[in-house]
Structure 1
């Protein structure tokens, strides 16, 4: 593992003393603050105002009025697409700030943060392109000769609840298509990542001031769980779209179910990478380490269960041990590093607890296992490969959200598929083989929303989402845009006989 000893630190970041309601920064009804702790220095980097339940009510009321008035939903898809493109342009002008904030919020090294922010800006433009091609009306001829018009209409007021591990990208997944569809949106950001949503709010404020987005259409709030639940249960909200843990998704679905509110969920994962016996290890090593340790494993799509046959176990274990231990980790402000610290102390303790539990269950740590000795500050967990894992162990069943990989042995191809599918999750996955047709056939047997053959492909302009308890609904592509429409059928009169 490469360790850097540079002492570079974070640029200063401004506090945010107000909340963003209906397109304007205004005073909160409360006086609580949320602190953002730099995961490298372990010091407070900035503070932002925490929203109250009263602030939520104000935001929902503003969204409800704007939606019901038709000031935004009444615009054409092409007009709204133009605004989405403008959002992308204004975010792009703030890439330096967003890159800095990405390091502070997630712990990813600065070069990784820069690439992530640029990709996220591109997602806004991809949504705008889908919106321009979207046809909200289709005429169908009935058996009686009359025409029925099938209309796609916006779902209404949307509560978009996002996680801390990729705020701008998740905003692009949720807020951009919701706005393109004509919805009004309350964006609720995570307390662990409060500043990226604030930058997005600055962009919206600029467009509201310019008359491009009507007042009331967009609010941005940062709040704790209790306040967030008041948003989910507010009868003025028509549609909740959430990305986060499966446990939180279950709670949101239960609350929304009490009033039959529309729900879209993108939840956790425990994705399997199946290495078949004919796989070329050089090809495996080109993508699998990154696929399991991206953002220090703080990604729902991380390939955290590696399945290998008994015949190739020792060879694969040795190769992966070398590969994971060689990933550059250290100061996130040093551009040569690929891995930084975890996002906070709570996350560090949780990940370390999973590693300790795996050892108690009889598994063996081949590399990593905790904080590197060379790093005396920051919430670091070294890339960790754990061997001797059974699929019934906790380390194989639950989402760790850190750079922790379980090596599981299978007997034959059918056993590999059974192990991969033996999970409450079904978000991502991979198959490694030199026979691409065989890989495609195997991918169809895996109960998961995305499977890569010989790689770890990340392209969020295509539909993305999970099976089973990894969620419901899709983000990305036209499928992601379609999540924010209701279908209405209008029967026009049949021609006179």
Structure 2
């Protein structure tokens, strides 16, 4: 079936019917949603107003006041049920991710699997919100730390991971005793609606099984920029986790800081890899190609800069260019296609502008042209581009959210490290080497300055067990695994006196008779 003949709106209807989402939730509204697969409209959602958003946040705060009193392991039971509901809905939600974002089928399903995995992680975490017992200098006293929930957690997500980002934040926030308010990207509200419906099913089961939970524990707000601003500005939202562009982060961060609220900002990547003389080139070729071309270059962890030692440059780069020319491009719903569409025309225009600037700076471009435009005039499929650059220019240092891989030679390892770190972004990174010293140096304090540093694996993707994020440009913040849960809580230090005296400053006395 050609792209133009795909009836994606009918598929959306069926998915929502299966999930129990009423038609008036995604039809007849003011926010039009188009699938990047064909460019056709697949939904038109009602939007909330800023005033509605403020009321919803107030209601979420009331929910927090009640939910924080529920023991953490019982909060974990809700997330366990959410994981079960996600397992049941995995095929439907994964398909919807592919339709709304343009991810190939395996990546749409993989995103839902991340949601399931973080639920499993959070369930275990609900019994491990540990504090320390601290040695005290005072006799017959005990000092310890305890952790308490923050309140309403605001979540602002981007189009490229429309549901996984919500789950990383919500699963942890809810087991920690918080409520959540979610403002999804205007480009991907359908998957958000589906996710909220799945959460509501889990909540209904939790209550039916005897659990106690308030209304408005998880709130979805569909709308534009003004809704995000209402979330950032509301005094009852002590933490906002925002994923998106660095431009958005520069606006959100200062606003939160102005009212002393916390932020978790997961923004630009512009991720790089270093290929050393000892690298296994077959392994490197597979790792680089997947990391650079997967999801049409629209991951925050996409490989965008490649530094290749001059001794292996001619052995690797021509093979990489050949792989780029042979990759299958087309509908992500068709088995065998590796590269789907860009999200929209704006993304295509930015890609072409970056390629033109690279050519003007002396770059040699292979690929980058639009394809399938006759088959789908309102969709934007491109061949991934390799750009051999004479040096790291300003264009290379600016992240373009599209499948462009800038390739540059280097001579010494220290030179490669300096080039690698010479960008403002710092999300993920990798090195391909069989030299132990190079590998250990790369993951050391003087090596990669990114939140993720990998050896012999590309920078794209992240497992649930490790904390994700931490860009140097923003001061970052961490989501998902490890001790990321602490960001959603506040720490209190407690001192308990179990003796009959109270230590006072020397010479201080009180008459208590």
| TM-score, reference length from structure 2 | 0.88
2:43 aligned residue: 46
Residue by residue over 1:166-214, the C-alpha shift from the partner in whole angstroms, topping out at 9 and shown as x without a partner, is 1221011111111111011101111011011111211232244442532
Distance in 1, Cα, partners of 2:36 & 2:252: 29
Alignment of 1:261-340 (within 5 A): 261-340=261-340
Residues 1:391 and 2:392 are matched in the alignment? yes
| Alpha carbons 2:269, 2:302 under 8 Å: kept | yes
Distance in 2, Cα, partners of 1:263 & 1:108: 28
Q: Secondary structure at the residue paired with 2:479?
A: coil
| Alpha carbons 1:37, 1:104 under 8 Å: kept | no
Residues 1:442 and 2:473 are matched in the alignment? no
Residues 1:86 and 2:85 are matched in the alignment? no
Cα offset, 1:228, TM superposition: 1.0
| Alpha carbons 2:98, 2:332 under 8 Å: kept | yes
Residues 1:202 and 2:197 are matched in the alignment? yes
Cα offset, 1:26, TM superposition: 13
Alignment of 1:250-269 (within 5 A): 250-269=250-269
1:468 aligned residue: 472
Q: Secondary structure at the residue paired with 1:132?
A: coil
1:149 aligned residue: 144
Residue by residue over 1:60-101, the C-alpha shift from the partner in whole angstroms, topping out at 9 and shown as x without a partner, is 111111223xx2111122111111111111122222321221
Q: For the structure 1 residues 356 and 230, does the alpha-carbon distance in structure 2 shift closer, same or farther, using more than 3 Å as the test? A: same
Count how many residue pairs are aligned between Structure 1 and Structure 2.
Answer: 482
Which of residues 465, 489, 495 in structure 2 aligns to 1:491? Answer: 495
Cα offset, 1:264, TM superposition: 1.3
Residue by residue over 1:356-387, the C-alpha shift from the partner in whole angstroms, topping out at 9 and shown as x without a partner, is 22122221102x12213686423112111001
Cα offset, 1:119, TM superposition: 3.0
Structure 1 regions of 5+ residues with no counterpart? 18-23
| Alpha carbons 1:105, 1:165 under 8 Å: kept | no
Which of residues 116, 119, 122 in structure 2 aligns to 1:124? Answer: 119
Residues 1:177 and 2:172 are matched in the alignment? yes
2:68 aligned residue: 73
Q: Secondary structure at the residue paired with 1:343?
A: coil
Q: Secondary structure at the residue paired with 1:300?
A: coil
Q: Secondary structure at the residue paired with 1:472?
A: coil
Alignment of 1:335-484 (within 5 A): 335-366=335-366, 368-372=367-371, 376-377=375-376, 378-394=379-395, 396-444=396-444, 445-456=447-458, 458-469=462-473, 471-484=475-488
Residue by residue over 1:300-352, the C-alpha shift from the partner in whole angstroms, topping out at 9 and shown as x without a partner, is 11111000123332222202101222222112121111110011222222222
| Alpha carbons 2:450, 2:471 under 8 Å: kept | yes
| Alpha carbons 1:330, 1:340 under 8 Å: kept | yes
1:35 aligned residue: 32
Residues 1:138 and 2:140 are matched in the alignment? no
Q: Secondary structure at the residue paired with 1:222?
A: coil
Residue by residue over 1:99-128, the C-alpha shift from the partner in whole angstroms, topping out at 9 and shown as x without a partner, is 221112221122331233223322222222
Distance in 2, Cα, partners of 1:25 & 1:254: 39
| Alpha carbons 2:371, 2:382 under 8 Å: kept | yes
1:63 aligned residue: 60
Q: For the structure 1 residues 261 and 451, does the alpha-carbon distance in structure 2 shift closer, same or farther, using more than 3 Å as the test? A: same
Distance in 1, Cα, partners of 2:24 & 2:176: 30
| Alpha carbons 1:14, 1:46 under 8 Å: kept | no
Q: For the structure 1 residues 218 and 6, does the alpha-carbon distance in structure 2 shift closer, same or farther, using more than 3 Å as the test? A: closer
Distance in 2, Cα, partners of 1:97 & 1:437: 47
2:505 aligned residue: none
Residues 1:96 and 2:97 are matched in the alignment? no
Q: Secondary structure at the residue paired with 1:41?
A: coil
1:226 aligned residue: 226
Q: Secondary structure at the residue paired with 1:251?
A: helix
1:107 aligned residue: 102
Greater alpha carbon shift after TM alignment, 45-54 vs 190-199: 45-54
Q: Secondary structure at the residue paired with 1:160?
A: strand
Q: For the structure 1 residues 466 and 117, does the alpha-carbon distance in structure 2 shift closer, same or farther, using more than 3 Å as the test? A: same
Q: Secondary structure at the residue paired with 2:499?
A: coil
1:20 aligned residue: none
| Alpha carbons 2:85, 2:202 under 8 Å: kept | no
Q: For the structure 1 residues 488 and 327, does the alpha-carbon distance in structure 2 shift closer, same or farther, using more than 3 Å as the test? A: same
Q: For the structure 1 residues 246 and 60, does the alpha-carbon distance in structure 2 shift closer, same or farther, using more than 3 Å as the test? A: same
| Alpha carbons 2:221, 2:227 under 8 Å: kept | no
Q: For the structure 1 residues 471 and 262, does the alpha-carbon distance in structure 2 shift closer, same or farther, using more than 3 Å as the test? A: same
| TM-score, reference length from structure 1 | 0.91
Distance in 2, Cα, partners of 1:103 & 1:27: 22
Distance in 2, Cα, partners of 1:8 & 1:115: 23
| Alpha carbons 2:114, 2:464 under 8 Å: kept | no
Greater alpha carbon shift after TM alignment, 344-353 vs 214-223: 344-353
| Alpha carbons 1:330, 1:375 under 8 Å: kept | no
Cα offset, 1:294, TM superposition: 2.0
Q: Secondary structure at the residue paired with 1:475?
A: strand
In our comparison, the structure showing a higher alpha carbon Rg is 2
